[in-house]
């Protein structure tokens, strides 16, 4: 597993954990930061994961608005928590990380949806992120 893939998984863990436990992202982020500082294996994938989570907190309203706009009759509340987190990561990478090609951001989100969410999630994530990426062109 590549370094950025591990980082995306760490970001997913933070976002998902905060969502399902109804804790602030900052609280979960601080706890994960402390764990990363105490474990060199965690520290190596923490930098990019932190960038993702902070970026999502900084641009959350815009990211969520885009997701709901392109989700076609799906509200964020109706989506599985894992899908919400994956979509937020994917949209952040598409919009705010020029180092990651859109196709890679989409592919990584789809792969993660295949592993961690429902049978229908990969197609949903692929279609939604594809529409958002295409809207930028």
pLDDT tens column, 34-56: 887 877 777 778 899 999 999 99
Q: What is the pLDDT of residue 35?
A: 83
pLDDT digits (tens, 9 = 90+) for 13-25: 999 999 999 999 8
Residue 121, class by beta-carbon neighbours within 10 Å (0-12 exposed, 13-18 middle, 19+ buried)? buried
Total domains present in the chain: 1
Show the domain range for 17: 3-135
Q: What is the pLDDT of residue 50?
A: 94
Joined together, the tokens standing for residue 84 give 């919400």
Rounded to whole angstroms, the Cα distance separating 125 from 114 reads 10
CATH number at residue 109: 1.10.940.10
Rounded to two decimals, the pTM is: 0.94
Low-confidence ranges of the chain (pLDDT < 50): none
Q: What is the pLDDT of residue 72?
A: 85
């Amino acid at each position: 597993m590549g370094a950025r893939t591990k980082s995306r998984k760490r970001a997913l863990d933070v976002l998902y954990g905060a969502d399902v436990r109804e804790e602030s992202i900052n609280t979960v982020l601080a706890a994960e930061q402390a764990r990363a500082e105490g474990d060199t294996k965690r520290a190596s994938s923490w930098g990019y994961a932190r960038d993702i989570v902070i970026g999502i907190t900084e641009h959350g309203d815009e990211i969520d608005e885009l997701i709901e706009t392109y989700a076609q009759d799906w509200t964020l509340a109706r989506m599985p928590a894992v899908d919400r987190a994956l979509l937020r990561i994917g949209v952040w990478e598409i919009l705010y990380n020029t180092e990651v090609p859109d196709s890679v951001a989409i592919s990584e989100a789809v792969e993660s949806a295949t592993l961690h969410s429902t049978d229908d999630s990969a197609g949903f994530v692929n279609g939604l992120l594809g529409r958002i990426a295409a809207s930028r062109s």
